[in-house]
Amino acid sequence: MYFFQGTMGMRRKDPKPLARFAAAVLAIFFLLGFVACATLPQDYPRTESYAMAPSEEGELARVAKKISEKFGEEKSGFLTIDQNSDALDWRLMLADQAQHSIDAQYFIWHGDESGMLLLLRLLQAADRGVRVRLLVDDLLLGGAEKSLAALDTHPDLEVRVFNPWKGRGGALGKGFEFLGKMKKLNARMHNKVMVADNRFAIVGGRNIGNEYFGLSKKYNFRDTDVLCVGPVAAELSKSFDLYWNSESVYPGEAFSTSKTLDKYLKKRRKVWQRKLAKSEDLLGSFSLYPQDWSEELNLLPDIMSGGLAKVVYDKPLVGTDMPPVQMFEGLDELFEDMREEVFIITPYLIPHDGDLNEIQGAIDQGIRVKILTNSLGATDSPIVHSAFRRYRRPIIETGTELYELRHDAEIQVLYDTPPVRAKFLGLHSKVIIVDYDRVYVGSSNFDPRSVYLNTEVGLLIDDPVLADELARLFYRDLAPENSWRVRLDEKDELIWESSDGILRKEPARTGWQRFQVGFYSLLPIEDQL
């Protein structure tokens, strides 16, 4: 949680060697059984490029100018993106309406139906001459090397990969490489940004994949993004450029030596199009082809709120002794002059480095603190939950009101995109609301990994209307039909209260979940989570 702190020395703590070794050994065990068969070159030439100036042409420019006329040149317009179907629609809108440039930066880009749909729309934007730059992290890209290289052959679409493994095609080789270069390879790019024409942007918690857009039959996330219009888009472009031109990225063309990549791209296009055609029922809520979004865009000047925003982001300091703590340092000003209340929404919660003392200090000054995170039943990461559960009692003892999202929350109907009905709902939003007038929305969880290992990006927004809207959604999520209130009873024992009554054992979906958190609790890996 780190946001209450102002001490640099506390933030620069390096992960313990024992935990780092344990995490590396675990990685090898999980990856055992595969053989590496290819490698990236040690170095590869890359050409610097930078964001284009804000476009003066097209629908995005026209609407952005209207919003600027309403709120003034220094302020930006903001719209909460809450429902998952809207989150994909707004991204498709940026792809369809962009006239000059699209920059997209993501930690995860799945090759499922939603990932293919958005990727094809970016390709179609590039086909009409829009310069598309796509930057993705390498953690989960195994097996996509040839597709990355093929996409990079398009004259108006360029792909770069952040901090890639040199060994390709085999998990065992990657495991040994990770063991030898853990400090470097354990640093991942967790940023999530999309900017179109340097006028419009989307920032928040969502990666690209079915579970982020309500299309997974296993589980879907309740997540939060913000659609931004105005000068904040250009500030986000500066953060994108820093990563795009860093020494930690490799161009897509480096991932394959094939001489027929242009032909392969044509084949992949046809494959993706056929798969999407077969998925028409699942994707029935979305247009499979580019469309005119003028009607939706014309509504924005009336439904957006206006405010000042600051972009906070880490530097891509891969393999250095300086942890990427710049974003969390930037959060300090969010908590200056707090008066009444702080709401914290985070899927993964592991207090660290004196956070509880800072929270206690705020509460002692009369500040109310409420936190919403995942219950065991709602989490997609039992390994992180195994560390969080040790902090439930200390968090509550500070006076914090602690809530955990129910996996069977009634609000799930809002986050499953028809015709999907997932097995459970999980929380993935990363939001802080202070005194109903300013907010943080971004990519960062509140755990050691987000502070010391991953890079992150977010917005500090001074906008009471946006803050009030996010607070309203927060209170809806806290309702007993949606969340468990975790308390200490008269016997000083933990209890979980909801509309279903009181539980004295943490709610889970399966016994397997309980076994997993019990097992992971034995491992000294908290500072890697």
Q: What is the pLDDT of residues 74-119, one digit of tens each?
A: 999 999 999 999 999 999 999 999 999 999 999 999 999 999 999 9
pLDDT of 10 higher than 80: no
Q: Are 297 and 331 part of one and the same domain?
A: no
Residue 481 lies inside a defined structural domain of this protein: yes
Q: Are 131 and 195 part of one and the same domain?
A: yes
Average pLDDT over residues 330-336: 89
Q: b or e along 435-447 (b: 16 or more beta carbons within 10 Å of the residue's beta carbon)?
A: bbbbbbbbbbbbb
Residue 178 lies inside a defined structural domain of this protein: no
Q: Are 386 and 256 part of one and the same domain?
A: no
Residue 445 lies inside a defined structural domain of this protein: yes
Per cent of the chain over pLDDT 90 is: 78
pLDDT at position 240 is 98
Domain that holds residue 279: 51-67+75-167+189-302
Average pLDDT over residues 235-258: 95
Q: What is the pLDDT of residues 340-376, one digit of tens each?
A: 999 999 999 999 768 899 999 999 999 999 999 999 9
Q: What is the pLDDT of residues 18-39, one digit of tens each?
A: 344 344 444 444 444 344 456 8
Q: Are 352 and 230 part of one and the same domain?
A: no
Average pLDDT over residues 204-226: 98
Average pLDDT over residues 315-338: 83
Q: What is the pLDDT of residues 490-529, one digit of tens each?
A: 999 999 999 999 999 999 999 999 999 999 999 888 878 7
Q: Are 357 and 258 part of one and the same domain?
A: no
Q: Are 394 and 496 part of one and the same domain?
A: yes
Type of residue at 275: K
Q: Are 455 and 349 part of one and the same domain?
A: yes
Q: Are 425 and 476 part of one and the same domain?
A: yes
CB–CB of 424/221 below 8 Å?
A: no
Q: Are 330 and 240 part of one and the same domain?
A: no
pLDDT of 324 higher than 80: no
Q: Total structural domains in the chain?
A: 2
Residue 31 lies inside a defined structural domain of this protein: no
Residue 477 lies inside a defined structural domain of this protein: yes
Is cis: bond before 419, omega within 30 of 0?
yes
Q: Which residues fall within 8 angstroms of residue 9, CB to CB, at 6 or more apart?
A: none
Q: Are 219 and 275 part of one and the same domain?
A: yes
Q: Tell me the two tokens of residue 87.
A: 């989150």
Query: What is the torsion angle, in degrees rounded to the nearest 10, for the CA atoms of residue 273, residue 195, residue 83 and residue 463?
Result: -170
> Where residue 373 sits, what CATH number does that domain have?
3.30.870.10
Q: What is the pLDDT of residues 411-467, one digit of tens each?
A: 999 999 999 999 999 999 999 999 999 999 999 999 989 988 899 999 999 999 999
Among 238, 272, 302, residue at a domain's last position: 302
CA dist 144 and 138 (Å) reads 10
pLDDT of 209 higher than 90: yes
pLDDT at position 80 is 98
Q: Are 357 and 442 part of one and the same domain?
A: yes
Among 302, 332, 347, residue at a domain's last position: 302
Residue 181 lies inside a defined structural domain of this protein: no
Average pLDDT over residues 129-155: 93
How buried is residue 241: exposed, middle or buried, by Cβ count under 10 Å (0-12/13-18/19+)?
middle
Q: From residue 125, give the alpha-carbon distance in Å to each of 283, 408, 423, 515.
A: 20, 39, 35, 48
pLDDT of 142 higher than 80: no
Residue 505 lies inside a defined structural domain of this protein: yes
Residue 35 lies inside a defined structural domain of this protein: no
Among 269, 302, 335, residue at a domain's last position: 302
Q: Are 219 and 333 part of one and the same domain?
A: no
